[in-house]
Structure 1
């Protein structure tokens, strides 16, 4: 394995993969993930393609168009964001409405794929890659609503879900095993920034040639290493927040446990018919709290 020789994907997305000469790297990832050959016609600009200093580790996304005129939104996110699922929905909804001309029929709505590469714990699950799509299922018969033959012929799809946005979530930080499939080879690179010498997934050979750290200028290397430092700081902040949250949770749990114990004692004393003043002195509870038991 070549160690620390290749540029991290999130940096490459922002600085290098927008160059048409490097499309093959991104096409390889999308081909592997979507399980069909993807050829990017051109990249479309999005509002968050920013280079400002404040954006040093914020959202990085890329909007591509494949040969079938379908839209592909690729986003790399390092920062933990609790409402990220809603942001995915907002992003696809925005594309659907932006890329249809006023007055056009709904049959002109573009297919959208949302590919999310997240470097933080998103949701709770055991897998590293998740796929989401829209289906309509009968509440009585549990059958899936299907297209009519005319609709299939008109829209050139086989299922209703193919008309709606589809979502992919790659939880790359959770990958901790030997890569055995092309997609796992890509996940390993996204996780570590390293490409195993035996990895042959589509696009990785192009990444070996085009994304070498040694090919960067001195200024590019300095900016890149600053980016890596920012990522380390960001992860430390996230880990610190999690540790503090766990500590606060334990403290709150102990406090809640003590309060429950006091309330239980007070209720028992009340049931025994002890005077209110005695219960108040013994437990420290107010007359109102004890009366509510």
Structure 2
């Protein structure tokens, strides 16, 4: 533990919200978004109030950049079938939370939704996915562009520049080979480790500020509890998967018994023990 850095999600909850540590998060966002990000403030929203990590195994942080953009960074450990919809809901809620009543719609700033997930979200083998919508003509396939006045008023080149931009980082798909500076950040997100040769923006600061030994004694205990809760959650999920698999094998064995197949055939197909198969025969 002494040589390893604390996890990024836990750091988001406890450490990265402090102005003195903005440079760590700025480095990560700059590498991912491919332009330099300077954080003006960390905001509160309904989605990130309170200590949600231990209960829901998730944590998020909401950033306002110096340009006024809103950047919602969320880490999710547990699989959720409706996670895509939750991404959409989170961004929609930000639009309504951060526009004042009576304020012109033109004051709405760009929103970036950055989702770091440690489960198999959707189908895909890559570890970084980027989405940015634009309007394409149904018949002519032409791109709907802003007028000159709109470009000048809002500082955009495409209509899509006004709309939310989503990123999904499927951390577990990363093969631990850092091919560029963004990969160095993905390596850290997956392994809580920064190699000496890494040069990505913000990682040197992360290496300096996110050391376990730099935590107070109370924060050390809280961090260790969070790791234990996470391990417990993973164990429970695996237990559920095993129960489902085992019940499926039992059902297959019952059907094979019903077909009159012998124990040896059933054992080979299901890997159940002969005693388990005999018990099933007696209970049918």
Q: Distance in 2 between matches of 1:148 and 1:127?
A: 36
Runs (4 or more) in structure 1 with deviation over 4 Å come to: 243-257
- CA distance change for structure 1 residues 121 and 34 in 2, over 3 Å: closer, same or farther? same
Shift of 1:22: 0.4
Q: Distance in 2 between matches of 1:158 and 1:253?
A: 59
Shift of 1:137: 1.4
- CA distance change for structure 1 residues 245 and 20 in 2, over 3 Å: closer, same or farther? same
Q: What is the TM-score when the length of structure 2 is the normalising length?
A: 0.83
Structure 2 unpaired stretches of 5+: 260-284
* Residue pair 1:100, 1:110 contacting (<8 A) in 2 also: no
Q: Distance in 1 between matches of 2:253 and 2:160?
A: 48
The size of the alignment, in residue pairs, is 258
Q: Which moved more, 1:128-137 or 1:5-14?
A: 128-137
1:284 paired residue number: none
Q: Distance in 2 between matches of 1:19 and 1:184?
A: 25
Q: What is the TM-score when the length of structure 1 is the normalising length?
A: 0.80
2:81 pairs with 1:85: no
Structure 1 unpaired stretches of 5+: 262-293
1:29 paired residue number: 28
Shift of 1:172: 0.8
Q: Which moved more, 1:187-196 or 1:43-52?
A: 43-52
- CA distance change for structure 1 residues 73 and 216 in 2, over 3 Å: closer, same or farther? same
Q: Distance in 2 between matches of 1:111 and 1:23?
A: 20
- CA distance change for structure 1 residues 255 and 225 in 2, over 3 Å: closer, same or farther? same
SS of equivalent residue, structure 1 residue 37? coil
1:227 paired residue number: 226
Q: How does 1:9-20 map to 2 (within 5 A)?
A: 9-20=8-19
* Residue pair 1:49, 1:61 contacting (<8 A) in 2 also: no
Task: Supply the RMSD in Å over aligned alpha carbons.
Answer: 2.6
* Residue pair 2:212, 2:220 contacting (<8 A) in 1 also: yes
Shift of 1:37: 0.3
1:121 paired residue number: 120
* Residue pair 2:68, 2:109 contacting (<8 A) in 1 also: yes
Shift of 1:184: 0.7
- CA distance change for structure 1 residues 104 and 197 in 2, over 3 Å: closer, same or farther? same
* Residue pair 1:41, 1:67 contacting (<8 A) in 2 also: yes
1:187 paired residue number: 186
2:157 paired residue number: 158
Q: Distance in 1 between matches of 2:25 and 2:31?
A: 10
SS of equivalent residue, structure 1 residue 132? strand
Q: Distance in 1 between matches of 2:70 and 2:255?
A: 50
2:129 paired residue number: 130
